[in-house]
Every structure is written in structure tokens, then in C-alpha cells.
């Protein structure tokens, strides 16, 4: 079995803002060639590092985003740099770039190779009044509306775990790239995919724009209480748990009654979802008082047996020991010969039954220079 | 050819958020998306625009009561002429309806079947139930999105549904590409838990390689050391600006914006290492400066000076006061059959030759039942009326 995108050659010029796009395409089987400056990609300077020691060959940040890519070095600012890049682009299907608009001559590359699909990921897109403005992941999350609704009401807005502005822009770039490849089958021509970090964040919101459009509502952050008011974090004996009041309500009430703590919830009015929403605070307070007698594991197991969607509030390292992920092979052990061992890499975001998801060791600096001379 | 998925038909059993996010992208790309809806289905107010309209934009709505065998038969006939069949029920629902991959493949050998479950179609937890917030809890987001040392906060919404939904669109496109190359359809097993877990980022690899325990870092940079970095209060109620300074050159530009005050020349802050080491003190000084400034003005001033900054946009900022999103046509006004105009979010990427676009407003419940039954299945008016009288369709 091979990857779905086997035979597609991708030139990856992206910094961290678009690094996930190439990683996704590599996972799907494309030959993704990361183009680094001679000293190595700037991502190699970003922590965390293997056992904490800074080393361009041991950045876990780089490894995460470069897994499955090949690597070549090319000095783009050298006298022959642009020419070498152009030659590589003539033999590529896709080029991913994250330069400020105008720096890379996209039109010339497309003219030289009309079948080329160019994905350009920029902070605000290649047009509009902010086209030359800069963004970090945090600034893009702020400008795209993600940040304002996260956090406690008496604290600051909170950014996400993980570079989710970059991740969403990269996912949309990958969507645009595969769409453009499909279109190329018909038209014979590639095209430019113009992705804005800000707009990608705005397209990864749920309630925020919709309720403004339909009702002029500005939703604010409200701690762990989900905007629907059907979820809130509670405390068990040994940790945090996510409560949910949209599962099998009758089963939850029966369970609490059996524990002698049903008085606060055993009310016919709560059979109506809107009542549970409107009186969420009171309801979750009652659930908290009840949950305090259980461990997280006991409560989640009991809830799932009753088909009530409860979950433990865990640290990301819990994923490494998760039996479900293990049974499905989510983590893929990758050999790092220079470390004398394997590291489990997080793997596929989805499984295609008839096409392989490929996870492979990230490249060393210039590892594939001899195979691919621009 | 005007759009990449022209001629592709998607039979869409999805509901609430994650699945509809996948199929709205397919609709934007030109696919004909036929949304199967049940009587009394959940929606978020006005089906034409706003949140529901943004989720269901450009789709057709067919109301089928899947509790009735004749409705299942209609679904099977539609599946036989669809390229993609997609649902986001928990794992056993489509099997119980007789609409799982093996059943659908018997109807159409090259069908692409996308199952967007919480935990996947295999494994000990395959029948566990979940929603976006519970998946965010399981994968680390809820615990680690917190102020340093503070209680969990997490996302205020179901980011997991957007993550899984957007990745679902990539899965469908890839499977369509694969079918063009091989002639074969396939089953796509998308566990929303895995989709959102795949986006946590390098911290998972760090724990795998280095051990240790993760702690919340508030608004500190997760892309290399930066200070000042984070969110700072501005003038007015709940107004904030995000600022990111990585390099010494950016720090000098920032200092010129602040003007001639002593702290910008403080030797502790002269290097990136120093600024990061003294980040708490620096943050307090920056906050004191930003507190009296108007977020929009300060953002423009900093950006013009080459400093990375942006206001923390609320819904109104985003939808009604952002000249960039407006110039890019991110929100679109869509006419409805009744002569209204509704506002809907559009696709966040531009394809230069075959652009994606909003195909239409959200459908009313069952709006396209007759059209789909007549034009795709060839039923006549009398047959459709009989099915409606028996409450098979609505």
C-alpha cells in the first residue's frame, strides 16, 4: 500500500507558520522536500530540544514539523540562489511558501512551470490593507477572534495550547493544494492558493461570528463553562473532570439518586435541555458536590457505561499511555540512529483504509543534497 | 470548470458541528452536498444565516425519518449515486441503520465513506461517547490553557469540532484524489480524538523524548523565546492587545514606539535572553504603558513601526470592524429565496483560478426534499406525496 499523494513532489519553503502543511502532505505520501538555508532551518533553533540541550540536529520542535520530509540546503540570497530554486520548482508539483507578500516571485515560478501549485501562507493574506502587517501565532489568534473567548472572566484572554493559528492555516493550505491538484487534472494548470492566518483562525471558531451575524451578540470568555452551557470542568477526589449535561440525563439522575445525591437534580424541569442550559451554574454546582466523592477514573468509567460523555481533564503526556490510541497505533516509533533509539511520534489525524499514512524521521541538515541538486 | 469539486455528490448524514464543518468546505469547493436531516433536528436559530447558515451554507436539506424502513431505502438509493457518504454519529449508528461501509460499497463499489467518530472504528473505547469539550479535555488543551499555576480554562468553545471538521475535508479531498488515480473508493476512519491530538504539537514529542510533566504557560510564546510576548490590557472595558517581540531589532522598534522612558533602555532588557529572564517585570511595565492606549490605535502604531501586534478581537471587532477581513470578502451577504439577505462566513483561502465560494444560504429543513427525490431518484409528484403522507419524508 502506498500513500494517497505518492508521486507528488512538494517544495517546502515554509517557516513555522506553514510547516504543518508540508507535514500533512508528507503524511499523505507526497515527496516533500524541505528547503533550508545552509546553516539549517530557523525552526531548528526553536525549543524544546532533546534532553534540553540546544542543537540544530536535536530540536523537537523541528522534528515534530519536519517528520517525513526530505531536506536540502539552498542559499536563496546567493547569486545563483533564485535560479537554483527556479530549477527545483520546474520539477515540482507544489511549492509552499511563507515569505512576506512580494518577496518570492510567484508569477515567474508559475510562468516557468504552469502546472505548479503555489500555496502562500501569510499573516493576513496577499491583499488588503494589512497585507504587509506581521503576526505571530498569538497575534493571529488575537486578530482572528480565537483568543477573546478563552480564559476566566476575571483573567486575561488565553492563547491556545499548540500553534493553532499556524495549524489551521496549514490545514487550509493543504485543502487548497489538494483541491488545486484535482482541478489541474481538468485544466492542466496549477494555481495560487492564498491563505491568511487571520482568516484561518476565524474559520476555526464556532459561535463567535455566527451569533454576531444573527443577533449582534458578543460572546465573552466564561472559564470552563462552554458557550452552550452544557459542559464545565469539575473536581473529583484526585483531579479534574469534564462534566456534560447533554448525555443520557435520566441515567445521570438515577446514578446520583443511587448515591443519595439526587435531590438537586431530580426535577422534571431538567428533562428539558433549555432548562439545563438556563440553570447551568446551579446544576454544575450540584454535579461538583457529587463528583467530589469519586476518582476521575471511577466517574468517567461510570459515565461512559451509561453513555454520558464524561472525560478526564488530562495533560498531553497522558496520550502516550492511552490504551485506545495504542490499540490504533496512533504513535509511531521512529528510529533516530544518532540517539541510539526510537521516539514515538504522534501520527495520523485520520486513517485512509486504502492508503498509507507515512511517518518518518526528520532530515538532518542537507541530508538529501546529493539526491536533489537545484 | 468553475470549481474543483464540480460534479461530486456528497450524501451528508452529519449533524451539530464537526461533520457539517467538513461538508461546508466541500460545498464551497463545488460539491453537491445533500444533507439528510431528521424531524426535530437540532439547530442554532435562523437556519439561513448566522451560526447555522455558516455551518450549512450551500447544502441541500432532505428530511428523512430514518426510523422508517422506506426512508432507509431512499437513503440507500441516494448513496448509490453519491461519490461520498459521511456521518459523525458514534460508531454503531450507521451499522444499525444498515448504512455502514460494506453495505454502501455493495451499492457503489467506488464510494468513499467517511466515518467521523469520537474515538475511531476500532479499539477498546470505540463505543465511548464524546463531544468537542470532552475531547479537548482528554488531549491536554483544557488543562494547559490556563494562567501559570492557575486552574484549567481551555477553549470557550468546541475547537475540536473545527479541527476534526477541517481535517475531515482534507481527508475527503485526498480520498477523491486517490480514487482518480486508482479507481478505488475507500473507508476513511476519522477519530476526532486523534485529529485534535495530532494538533497538540511538539509538547507531545517532548514528553515522549524527554519525559517530565507539562505545565500551563499562560500566554508565553510557544514558538521560541520572546518577550514581551502575550496579551496586555488597553483602555476601555475588556480591551486587550497581543504583542510579540522576538529579536533585539524588534525590541528597539518597540522602544521607539514607547518613547523616552527609562525602562526601554534598561540593560536587563537589552537582549532576548535578558528580556525572557525578566519577562514578569517587563510584562508589568508594558501593561502599564498599554493600559491607557486604545487597542486599535496602538496596534496600527506598532505594526507601522514593524512590531508584531494585534488587538484581541471580539465578535464585533471581527465581523464589523476589521478592514482586512472586509477587504478579503471573508463574510458574505447571501440572498435567500424569501428575499432576505443573510450574512455567512466564507472559505478562508483563495484559489486563484477555481475559487471556492459560498454556494448559497443554509437550507430550510426539508427545503430540497422534493427536488432531490424528483431530479435524482426520478420520483413523481404522486409518489412524493405518498411518502410525505406516510411521514417517510418531510
Distance CA A228, CA B51 (A): 13
| pLDDT at residue A128 tops 90 | yes
- By Cβ distance, the residue of A168, A192, A313 closest to B143 is A313
Q: Is A309 within a domain?
A: yes
Torsion of CA B171, B173, B178, B181, to 10 degrees: -170
Q: Please say which residue of B265, B285, B320 terminates a domain.
A: B320
Residues 6+ apart with CB under 8 A from A230: A244, A245, A246, A273, A276, A277, A280, B131
Residue B124 has a pLDDT of 97
Q: What is the distance in angstroms between the Cα of B387 and the nearest Cα belonging to chain A?
A: 31
In a domain, A134, yes or no: yes
CB contact under 8 A, A350 and B356: no
Beta bridge partners, A192, equal A118
B206 and A195: CB-CB below 8 Å? no
B352 contacts A192? CB cut-off 8 A:
yes
Nearest to B309 among A139, A193, A221 (CB): A139
SS (HEC) of chain B: CCCCCCCCEEEECCCCCHHHHHHHHHHHCCCEEEEEECCCCCCCCCCCCHHHHHHHCCCEEEEECCCCHHHHHHHHHHHCCCCEEEECCCCCHHHHCCCCHHHHHHHCCCCEEEEEECCCCCCCCCCCCCCHHHHHHHCCHHHHCCCCCCCCCCCCCCHHHHHHHHHHHHHHHHHHHHHHHHCCCEEEEEEHHHHHHCCCCHHHHHHHHHCCCCCCCCCCCCCCCCCCEEEEECCCCCCEEEEECCCHHHHHHHHHHHCCCHHHHCHHHCCHHHHHHCHHHHHHHHHHHHCCCCHHHHHHHHHHCCCEEEECCCHHHHHHCCHHHHHCCCEEEEECCCCCEEEEECCCEEECCCCCCCCCCCCCCCCCHHHHHHHCCCCCHHHHHHHHHCCCEC
pLDDT of residue B289: 97
Q: Does B219 fall in a domain?
A: no
**B368, β-bridge pairs:** none
**Does the distance separating the beta carbons of B312 and A242 come in below 8 Å?**
no
> In this structure, are A164 and A199 located in the same domain?
yes
What are the grid coordinates assigned to A223, written together? 472559564
Task: Determine, yes or no, domain membership for A326.
Answer: no
Residues B241 and B93 in one domain: no
Taking only residues 320 to 349 of chain A, the set having a beta carbon closer than 8 angstroms to any beta carbon of chain B reads: 320, 322-325, 327-328, 330-331, 343-349
Burial call B224-239: b when 16+ CB within 10 Å, e when fewer: bbbbbbbbbbbeeeeb
Which domain, by its residues, includes A253? 231-313
Domain boundary at B320, B346, B365, which?
B320
Q: Identify which of B129, B173, B213 has the shortest CB distance to residue A179.
A: B173
**Confidence band for A148, pLDDT divided at 50, 70 and 90:** very high
Q: Determine the residue of chain A that is closest to B164 in CA distance.
A: A349
Q: Is residue B290 part of a domain?
A: yes
Element (H, E) at A244: strand A240-244
Residues A194 and A253 in one domain: no
| Residue-level pLDDT at A374 | 52
Report, as an integer, the average pLDDT of B358-362.
97
Calpha distance B393→B278 (Å, rounded):
66
Same domain, A309 and A338: no
A39 lies in the same domain as A180: yes
Q: What pLDDT digit, counting tens, does each position of B259-300 carry?
A: 988 999 999 999 999 999 999 999 999 999 999 999 999 999
CA gap A68, A88 in Å, rounded: 19
Q: For residues A60 and A185, state if they share a domain.
A: yes
- The CATH number of whichever domain residue A31 belongs to comes to 3.40.50.10540
Domain shared by A31 and A180, yes or no? yes
B27-74 pLDDT, tens digit each: 999 999 999 998 877 778 899 999 999 999 999 999 999 999 999 999
CB atoms within 10 A of CB A282: 11
CATH number at residue A256: 3.30.1540.10
Angstrom distance (rounded) from CA A60 to CA A24: 17
- What pLDDT was estimated at residue B1? 58
* Grid cell of A84 as nine digits: 537554483
Q: Are residues A259 and A302 in the same domain?
A: yes
Q: Are residues B312 and B371 in the same domain?
A: no
The reply to whether B100 and B236 lie within a common domain is no
Report CB contact under 8 Å: B197, A346: yes
A17 to chain B, minimum CA–CA distance in Å?
A: 10
> Would you tell me the crossing angle of helices B159-182 and B18-28 to the nearest 10 degrees?
50
**Between chains, do A134 and B226 touch, taking CB under 8 Å as contact?**
no
Q: A235: which DSSP letter? A: E
The neighbouring-strand residues paired with A336 are: A341
Nearest to B50 among A186, A210, A355 (CB): A210
Shared domain check, B101 and B75: yes
Q: How close, in Å, is residue A243 to chain B by CA atoms?
A: 8
Q: Examine the domain organization and report whether B234 and B334 are in the same domain.
A: no
Interface of A with B in 41-70 (CB under 8 A): 45-48, 50-52, 60-61, 63-65
* B284 in the same domain as B155: no
- In this structure, what C-alpha cell is assigned to residue A100? 512576506
Residue B301 lies in a domain: yes
Verify that A172 and A256 share a domain, yes or no. no
Q: What is the DSSP string of A287-332?
A: HHHHHTTS-HHHHHHHHHHTT---EE---GGGGGG-HHHHHHT-EE
Alpha carbons A102 and B157: distance in angstroms, whole number: 36
- Taking the CA of residue B123 and the nearest CA in chain A, the distance in Å comes to 5
What is residue B244's predicted lDDT score, i.e. its pLDDT? Answer: 98
Interval B234-246 mean pLDDT: 98
Q: What angle do CA B247, B229, A96 make, to 5 degrees?
A: 65
Residues A40/A77, Cβ–Cβ less than 8 Å: no
| Nearest beta carbon to residue B1 from set A28, A187, A233 | A187
The reply to whether B185 falls in a domain is yes
Same domain flag for B234 and B173 = no
Please give the average per-residue pLDDT across A339-347, as a whole number: 95
d(Cα A112, Cα B74) in Å, to the nearest integer?
Answer: 51
Task: Tell me which chain B residue has its CA closest to the CA of residue A232.
Answer: B133
Query: Which residues, in sequence order, are bridge partners of residue B64?
Result: B393
Q: What pTM does this model have? A: 0.98
A215 neighbourhood in chain B, CB within 8 Å: 45, 50
Examine the domain organization and report whether B310 and B349 are in the same domain.
no
Assess whether B249 and B286 both reside in one domain: yes
Q: What is residue A294's predicted lDDT score, i.e. its pLDDT? A: 98
Residues A200, A81 within the same domain = yes
- Assign residue B146 the CATH number of its domain: 3.40.50.10540
> Cell 492511552 maps to which residue?
A322
Q: A159 with A101, same domain?
A: yes
Closest CB to A130 among B151, B205, B324: B324
ipTM surpassing 0.90: yes
What CATH number does residue B281 fall under? 3.30.1540.10
A165: three-class secondary structure by DSSP: helix
Section A171-179 average pLDDT: 99
Give the total number of structural domains in chain B.
2
Predicted local confidence at residue A373, as pLDDT? 63
Inside any domain, residue B295 = yes
**Domain co-membership, B20 together with B118:** yes
| Partner-chain contact A150 B242, CB within 8 Å | no
pLDDT, mean over chain B? 97
Indicate the pLDDT class of residue A55, thresholds 50, 70 and 90.
very high
Question: Number of folded domains in chain A?
Answer: 2
Residue B51 lies in a domain: yes
Task: Please tell me the total number of residues recorded for chain B in this structure.
Answer: 394
CB contact under 8 A, B219 and A159: yes
A163 and A245 fall within a common domain: no
DSSP code at position A122: E
Between the alpha carbon of residue B107 and those of residues B73, B104, B183, the distances in Å are: 12, 5, 16
Domain assignment of residue B181, yes or no: yes
8 Å CB contact of B308 and A211: no
Q: Does A304 touch chain B (CB under 8 A)?
A: yes
- Looking at the domain assignment, is residue A211 inside a domain? no
Chain A closest CA to B275's CA: distance in Å?
17
* Residues A197 and A253 both lie in one domain: no
Here the cell at position B21 is 464543518
Is residue A360 a part of any domain in this protein?
no
- Report the candidate in A83, A91, A99, A96 with the shortest Cα–Cα distance to residue A115: A91
Rounded Cα gap, residues B17 and B331, in angstroms: 19
Please name the residue that has the C-alpha cell 470542568.
A233
User: pLDDT category, B220, cuts 50, 70, 90?
Assistant: very high
* Segment A54-60 mean pLDDT: 98
What positions of B carry a catalytic annotation? 161
Q: Assess whether B164 and B284 both reside in one domain.
A: no
C-alpha closest to that of B16 among B155, B158, B173, B141: B158
Q: β-pairing, A117-122 with A94-97?
A: parallel
Q: How many CB pairs under 8 A join A and B?
A: 527
Three state DSSP letters for A33-101: EEEECCCCCHHHHCCCEHHHCCCCCCEHHHHHHHCCCEEEECCCCCCCHHHHHHHHHHCCCEEEECCCC
Select from B393, B361, B360 the least CA-distant residue to B377. Answer: B393
User: What is the per-residue pLDDT across A244-298, written as a single tens digit (0 to 9) for each?
Assistant: 999 899 999 999 999 999 999 999 999 999 999 999 999 999 999 999 999 999 9
Q: Which of B182, B318, B340, B358 to mutate to test the interface with A (most CBs of A within 10 A)?
A: B318
Q: Which of A207, A228, A232 is nearest to A217 (CA)?
A: A207
Q: Could you give the angle at which helices A164-187 and A19-27 cross, rounded to 10 degrees?
A: 60
C-beta atoms of A316 and B144 within 8 A: yes
Asked whether residue A277 is domain-assigned, the answer is yes
Give per-residue pLDDT as tens, A318-337: 999 999 999 999 999 999 99
Residues B291 and B147 in one domain: no
Task: Give Cβ neighbours of residue B147 (< 8 Å, ≥ 6 apart).
Answer: A151, A152, A155, A156, A158, B153, B216, B218
Full domain range(s) for residue B268:
229-320
Q: Is A204 exposed, middle or buried (0-12, 13-18, 19+ CB in 10 A)?
A: buried
Mutate to test the interface with B, among A119, A186, A226, A316 (most CBs of B within 10 A): A316
Q: Are the C-beta atoms of residues A230 and A276 closer than 8 Å to each other?
A: yes
Q: Which residues of B touch A63 (CB under 8 A)?
A: 202, 205
Q: How many residues does chain A have?
A: 374
Amino acid at each position: 500500500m502506498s500513500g494517497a499523494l505518492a508521486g507528488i513532489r512538494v517544495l517546502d519553503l515554509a517557516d513555522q507558520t506553514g510547516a504543518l502543511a508540508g507535514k500533512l502532505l508528507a503524511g499523505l505520501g507526497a515527496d516533500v522536500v524541505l528547503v533550508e538555508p545552509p546553516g539549517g532551518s530557523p525552526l531548528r533553533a526553536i525549543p524544546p530540544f532533546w534532553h534540553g540541550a540546544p542543537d540544530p540536529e536535536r530540536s523537537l520542535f523541528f522534528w515534530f514539523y519536519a517528520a517525513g520530509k526530505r531536506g536540502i540546503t539552498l542559499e536563496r540570497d546567493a547569486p545563483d540562489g533564485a535560479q537554483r530554486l527556479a530549477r527545483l520548482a520546474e520539477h515540482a508539483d507544489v511549492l509552499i511558501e511563507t515569505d512576506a507578500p512580494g518577496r518570492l516571485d510567484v508569477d515567474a515560478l508559475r510562468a516557468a512551470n504552469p502546472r505548479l501549485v503555489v500555496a502562500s501562507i501569510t499573516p493576513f493574506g496577499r491583499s488588503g490593507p494589512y497585507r504587509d502587517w506581521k503576526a505571530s501565532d498569538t497575534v493571529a489568534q488575537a486578530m482572528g477572534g480565537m483568543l477573546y473567548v478563552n480564559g476566566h472572566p476575571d483573567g486575561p484572554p488565553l492563547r491556545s495550547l499548540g500553534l493553532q493559528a499556524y495549524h489551521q492555516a496549514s490545514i487550509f493550505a493543504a485543502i487548497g493544494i489538494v483541491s488545486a491538484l484535482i482541478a489541474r487534472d481538468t485544466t492542466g494548470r496549477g494555481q495560487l492558493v492564498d491563505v491568511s492566518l487571520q482568516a484561518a483562525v476565524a474559520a476555526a471558531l464556532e459561535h463567535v461570528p455566527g451569533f454576531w451575524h444573527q443577533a449582534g451578540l458578543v460572546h465573552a470568555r466564561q472559564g470552563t463553562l462552554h458557550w452552550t452551557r452544557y459542559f464545565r470542568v469539575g473536581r473529583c477526589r484526585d483531579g479534574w473532570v469534564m462534566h456534560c449535561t447533554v448525555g443520557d440525563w435520566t441515567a445521570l439522575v438515577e446514578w446520583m439518586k443511587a448515591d443519595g445525591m439526587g435531590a438537586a437534580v431530580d426535577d422534571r424541569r431538567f428533562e428539558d435541555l433549555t432548562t439545563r442550559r438556563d440553570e447551568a451554574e446551579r446544576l454544575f454546582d450540584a454535579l461538583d458536590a457529587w463528583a467530589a466523592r469519586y476518582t476521575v477514573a471511577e466517574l468517567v468509567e461510570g459515565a461512559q457505561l451509561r453513555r454520558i460523555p464524561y472525560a478526564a481533564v488530562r495533560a498531553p503526556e497522558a496520550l502516550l499511555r492511552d490504551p485506545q490510541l495504542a490499540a490504533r497505533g496512533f504513535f509511531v516509533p521512529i528510529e533516530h540512529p544518532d540517539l541510539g533509539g526510537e521516539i514515538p511520534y504522534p501520527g495520523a489525524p485520520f486513517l485512509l483504509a486504502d492508503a498509507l499514512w507515512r511517518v518518518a524521521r526528520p532530515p538532518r541538515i542537507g541530508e538529501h543534497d546529493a539526491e536533489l541538486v537545484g | 470548470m468553475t470549481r474543483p469539486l464540480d460534479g461530486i455528490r456528497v450524501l451528508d448524514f452529519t449533524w451539530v458541528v464537526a461533520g457539517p464543518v467538513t461538508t461546508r468546505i466541500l460545498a464551497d469547493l463545488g460539491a453537491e452536498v445533500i444533507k439528510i436531516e431528521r424531524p426535530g433536528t437540532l439547530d442554532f436559530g435562523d437556519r439561513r444565516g448566522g451560526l447555522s447558515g455558516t455551518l450549512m451554507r450551500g447544502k441541500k436539506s432532505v428530511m428523512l425519518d430514518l426510523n422508517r424502513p422506506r426512508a432507509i431505502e431512499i437513503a440507500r438509493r441516494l448513496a448509490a449515486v453519491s461519490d461520498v457518504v459521511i456521518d459523525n454519529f458514534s460508531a454503531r449508528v450507521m451499522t444499525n441503520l444498515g448504512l455502514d461501509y460494506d453495505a454502501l460499497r455493495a451499492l457503489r463499489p467506488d464510494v468513499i465513506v467517511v466515518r467521523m467518530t469520537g474515538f475511531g472504528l476500532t479499539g477498546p473505547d470505540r463505543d465511548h461517547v464524546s463531544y468537542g469539550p470532552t475531547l479537548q479535555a482528554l488531549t491536554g488543551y483544557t488543562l494547559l490553557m490556563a494562567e501559570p499555576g492557575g486552574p484549567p480554562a481551555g477553549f470557550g468553545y468546541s475547537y475540536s469540532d473545527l479541527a476534526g471538521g477541517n481535517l475531515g475535508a482534507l481527508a475527503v479531498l485526498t480520498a477523491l484524489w486517490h480514487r482518480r488515480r486508482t479507481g478505488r473508493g475507500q473507508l476513511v476512519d476519522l477519530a476526532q480524538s486523534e485529529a485534535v491530538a495530532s494538533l497538540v504539537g511538539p509538547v507531545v514529542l517532548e514528553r515522549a523524548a524527554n519525559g517530565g510533566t507539562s505545565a500551563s504557560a499562560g500566554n508565553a510564546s510557544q514558538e521560541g523565546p520572546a518577550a514581551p510576548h502575550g496579551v496586555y490590557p488597553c483602555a476601555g472595558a475588556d480591551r486587550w492587545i497581543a504583542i510579540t517581540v522576538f529579536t533585539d531589532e524588534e525590541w528597539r522598534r518597540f522602544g521607539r514606539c514607547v518613547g523616552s522612558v527609562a525602562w526601554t533602555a534598561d540593560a536587563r532588557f537589552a537582549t532576548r535572553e535578558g528580556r525572557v529572564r525578566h519577562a514578569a517585570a517587563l510584562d508589568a511595565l508594558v501593561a502599564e504603558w498599554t493600559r491607557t492606549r486604545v487597542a486599535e490605535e496602538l496596534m496600527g502604531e506598532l505594526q507601522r513601526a514593524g512590531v508584531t501586534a494585534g488587538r484581541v478581537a471580539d465578535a464585533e471587532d471581527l465581523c464589523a470592524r476589521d478592514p482586512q477581513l472586509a477587504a478579503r470578502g471573508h463574510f458574505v451577504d447571501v440572498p435567500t429565496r424569501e428575499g432576505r439577505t443573510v450574512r455567512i462566513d466564507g472559505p478562508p483561502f483563495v484559489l486563484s483560478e477555481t475559487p471556492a465560494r459560498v454556494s448559497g444560504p443554509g437550507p430550510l429543513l426539508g427545503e430540497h426534499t422534493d427536488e432531490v427525490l424528483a431530479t435524482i431518484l426520478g420520483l413523481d409528484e404522486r409518489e412524493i406525496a405518498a411518502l410525505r403522507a406516510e411521514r417517510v419524508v418531510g
